Amino acid sequence: MARYLDVHPDNPQPRALQQCVSTLKDGGLVAYPTDSGYALGCVLDNRDGLERIRSIRDLDQHHHFTLMISEFAQVGHWVDMDNWVFRTLKANTPGLYTFIVKAAPEVPKVMQHPKKKSIGLRVPTHRSTLALLEALGEPLVTSSLILPGEDEPMTDGWLVKETLDHQVDIVLDDGNCGLNATTVVDLTGGEPEVLRVGAGDPTPFVED
């Protein structure tokens, strides 16, 4: 059964965050709230965690997993980017976007798109997400918790607990979860391409 951890939305209790960190570093899978719905997360080298996410969401091998990082300053370590990609990311992070970018060599191949060698990238604004990332001290490999047949992510911690009680190890709940999935923008070509319109304003990436 999944452990349910109820935390304060502005000042998540350090003890609860450390329980998440210990579980993640022991190979566990955590469901946690973000500014764009619930997400599933594991650490970078957790191959089993990636397969568990694929199983829960019924994803194929071409799904773009996303690196959730706490600040723009970390982008250069994980992204192989041209100047225009750098400027685009700097201008629009943090925010309600998932960017598809070319993966740097430091990104494990198991989480890259098998043909495009790309990954998703997010810099959130959500306090509990940021607190978890800061406590962990490394990115989370993540995917929005959108169940098969649904269009939007789950947003209620207790419902996540009831639905995935035997499929995740921890459900973190701060009572302040975003409602809509991110806007997805592909930056692997010569110019931005909006792949999905969601919570983030797509206007900066659409030509007049």
Compute the distance between CA of residue 19 and CA of residue 32 in angstroms, rounded to an integer.
13
Compute the distance between CA of residue 108 and CA of residue 45 in angstroms, rounded to an integer.
7
pLDDT tens-digit map of 85-133: 999 999 999 999 999 999 999 999 888 898 899 999 999 999 999 999 9
Compute the distance between CA of residue 29 and CA of residue 55 in angstroms, rounded to an integer.
12
The total number of structural domains that make up the chain: 1
Q: CATH number of the domain that 119 lies in?
A: 3.90.870.10
Contacts of 102 (CB under 8 A, 6+ apart): 79, 80, 81, 117, 118, 188
**What per-residue confidence (pLDDT) applies to 61?**
82
| Residues lower than pLDDT 50 in the chain | none
Q: In terms of residue numbers, what domain contains 86?
A: 3-205
pTM of the model: 0.95
